[in-house]
Structure formats: structure tokens, C-alpha cells
Amino acid sequence: MRVKRSAWGATTGVLAMGTLIGVSLSAPGGANGATLPQSHATVESHAVGDLAGSNIKHVVIIYQENHTFDDELGAVCETRTTPCNGYTGPVTFADGKTASNVVQPDVVPIVKHDPPSQREGMANQWDQISGCTSSPYVCVSHVDPAKIPNVAALADTFAVSDATFAAGDDASFGAHENLASGTSDGWLGYNPVRSKTGHKPGPGWGCPSFRDALWGPDGEHEFVPSCVPDVAGAGPYRDSPVPYVPTIMQRMEQAGRSWRIYQGSPRQAPVDTSYSICTYFQWCVENRFTTTYDAATNAFYKDARHGRLPNLSIVLPTGGLSQHNGTSMAKGDNYIGQIVQAVENSSDWKSTAIFITYDDCGCFYDHVTPPAGLGLRNPMVIISPWARPVFTDSTVAVQPYSMLSFVENNFDLAPLSQEVTDAYDYSGSFDFSQRPLSGIPMTRTSISARERQRLVELRPLVARDPV
């Protein structure tokens, strides 16, 4: 059964306010299926939208690829000053088979992570996922904190959410569409494919791609152009039932706030790749697909250096920096460290909140059963002078809706979607009355010549699987 992508808060009355109170989060296939200690398993309750006194004028979203919470932060949690709900122990699958939980190599293992694979993970059928069907079960593995020293240090200094769940079982197209619009808009989460009409494909995945993606309710879904039309219905290359929905970018503009997407090199910008969310929406393609709004990544460093970060920055990686399957965790961590360091060194630091998260599971093991209607847990590290130091936020949050809820509530925007309105906004991770925290030094991990050659060899495979 497909994970539903309707307003998740409507799933149960408890979840409607973004909290799951007094619920024991079990470990399916974890330590023999045992329930975690209550200190880790009880989800706290915080008020949604309680951002009174916020000092935040700049929000930076760093949106990486393909990891679960246990995979990325499980080992970090085990040594963190304040515990968080991570697990790196042995696993028992639904069919009774067992797997040790091994340390991943720096090059992320290749595991299938489309919606059906994610559903297999949620059913504790990890050994049924392509790429993980025999021992050693590479999807049951975790990252060595030494390979991600920047993210590990940030997690041990600022706030971590250990209860952020994906909005559903979306692959990258669905997750990135959700990031911009705060709703699935009927997409089933699958990535676009070549048009069933035989139309020659264009670049990327959005409106100019002339590609199709699955859309519609269960039992009635169909392939339609992978393009959200503008308010007049224009954009799709052929007739489409997909309705117009607004984006967070439009809500920012309506409130007189600035935004910018950063991705790619100066020679590419504005770049139209699979992750270029502006191109998913005809409004953005037609009106905002310029370097003013869709800039190269190095423009972020320049904006930070000159103290002119926009109110909302969405930072999207190129493939080699994304930490996607078949790429280097250390290389991606170096990139994350550069972005964070640029903000820490900026005059904008004292008014900035940075969210680091990942678009889907990868699909790597996570021991926590998702609440009804949600997907697997994603890592979430929250960096700000106003983040509670070494804080663990265990209120149920939804990736990406909770980040958008923070943006919406912090900047007093018009509501974007019911999903965003219902989502917890991470307000419990902040204390605007505390003494502001200082930034911490970021580091750079060297990549061996042998590994660099291996990454070059894997590029064609990664290019065929940008999910």
C-alpha cells in the first residue's frame, strides 16, 4: 500500500498538532525488536508556531541526498554529550534473518531507494531491497563520524531533531517538489521518465524536460507531464490534470521577503538539473529562472561574505557533493562545512538559522517505526546562535514541511498548505533569550587518489540514478 501524501496531520488527532506524546518508539528489527529505553522513546511536546521574539532574519536550507537518521547520525548519537535516538546495533528482519550493522565505506553503497523500496524498509523488509538482498546487507550500515567531522561536530554543538520523518515515500522528484510547494500536489513520489508520447526529452525533470511522472489517486494514477502549471494552466507540454499550487518562493515575495536558490557553477547558472526545483513550476520557470534567483553555489559564499544573504536560501548540491549513493560522504561533508563556515564568518551569523537534512532514505536502515502516514526518519541538524546547545528535539516533525513551517511562522507568511500549517516548526530547538552561540571551526577531509578514481568510475551509474 502506498504511503498517503494527504495532510499528514489529519491521520490522527494526536499528530495534527505535530506531537506524539508518551508513545514508545519501538525498534523494528533492532536489538531483537526491543523497545528503546523510555528516555529515548518518549516524544516531547512543544507548542507549534511558538517563535515569539525570534531573531532570525535568514534561513538556510541545505538539502542533501539519501540518508536515514541512524545511517547518518546513529554513531554520532552514541557519543554525543546529550543522547539522541540513534542505533547502530544488529538487526533482525521481518523474515527472521539477521544482519550486523557495519560501518559504511566513504563511497556510499548503491541501494535502491524508490517508493517501493522505501515501503519495504518501513515494513522491516530491508533484505528485499535491491542492492541489499544478501549478506553483507549493505543497507544495514552506518557512517563513521570521522568521515563526516563537520556534521558530527555541528550535531554535538547545536540542536538535533531525532524525530524528523519524511513526508512519505517520495524519491527525489517528489521530495524536492514538496520542498518548494509544501504539498505533494498529487504526485506519487516517483521520478520522471521519458514521455510516453515519444517526445524528445529536454534538460532536468521539470517543465522544460518534456518528461512524465506518475500522478493521481490510488488505482487511478497516470503518467502526466512532470510540471506544475501556473495559475492559468500553462506549462505542461500536453494536457495535464495537475492543479496549480503556490510555492514558498511566492509566499516570501508576497510578504516582501527575499529568496535565492544556490546550485551549480557560474558557467551553469541558472542550472537545469534533476534537482532544480524552480523548473518544476511553470511560474518559476517563466518568471524567476535567472541568476538573480537561481545562482551558482559560489554566489552563496559571496552573499555571506558581504552580509547580504536573502531571507531564504535553498542550497542544492551538484551530484558529486550530494552524498548520494555512489558519491563520497567526506566530500559532501567538506561542502557542508564550507557553507556553514561562510555563514559563521558572516555578519549575518547572529540572525541566521541553518537546517541540514536529506531528501530520502537512500535506502538505509532506521530502527524507528514511522508514525502513520509518514516515511522513514531523516537526519536533521539545526545550527544557529539561537539553537539550544547540544539539544535533542524529539517532537515529531515532517521533512520538508517542518522547515517550511518554521519559515512560514518566522516570517509571518500567508499559509502555504495544510501540510505546512499542521507541521511542527522546530520552535522547541530555539531559545531567543539565551546568550548567542558562537560558530565552530569547520575542517576539510582529504580524499585519496584511489578513491577519487573510484568516484570517477561511478559517475555514469550515479548519473543514471539521480534519486
Over 60: is that where the pLDDT of 17 sits?
A: no
CATH fold, domain 44-82+143-167+245-464, is: Alkaline Phosphatase, subunit A (3.40.720)
Q: Is the pTM of this model over 0.95?
A: no
Taking a C-beta distance cutoff of 8 angstroms, is the pair 27, 35 a contact?
A: yes
Q: How far apart are CA 231 and CA 282, in angstroms?
A: 9
Grid coordinates standing for 264?
A: 551549480
| DSSP secondary structure letters along 259-296 | EEEE-S-TTTPSP-STT-GGGGBHHHHHHT-STTTEE-
Domain boundaries of the chain, sorted by first residue: 44-82+143-167+245-464, 186-244
Tell me the pairing of strands 352-358 and 58-64: parallel
Share of the chain above pLDDT 70, in %: 88
pLDDT for res 465? 66
Bridge partners of residue 294, in order along the sequence: 261
Residues 147-174 have a mean pLDDT of 97
> Does the pLDDT value for residue 109 go beyond 80?
yes
Place of cell 541558472: 270
Dihedral, CA atoms, 276, 280, 284, 287, nearest 10 degrees? Answer: 100
**What is the pLDDT averaged over residues 15-28?**
38
Q: Which residues contact 380 (CB under 8 A, 6 or more apart)?
A: 69, 160, 161, 164, 355, 356, 357, 397, 399
Residue 268 — pLDDT band, cuts 50, 70, 90?
A: confident
* Axis crossing angle, helix 297-305 with helix 329-344, rounded to the nearest 10: 30
**Contact, 362 vs 68, CB < 8 A?**
yes
Average pLDDT over residues 314-321: 90
User: What's the mean per-residue pLDDT of the chain?
Assistant: 88
SS3 of 35-98: ECCHHHHCCCCCCCCCCCCCCCCEEEEEEECCCCHHHHHHHHHHHCCCCCCCCCCCEECCCCCE
Look-up: residue for cell 551558482?
296
CB 307 within 8 A of CB 314: no
- 63, β-bridge pairs: 357
Instruction: Give the pLDDT of residue 416.
Output: 98
Segment 209-226 shows an average pLDDT of: 93
Are residues 66 and 358 in contact, defined by beta-carbon separation less than 8 angstroms?
Answer: yes
Does the pLDDT at position 95 exceed 90? yes
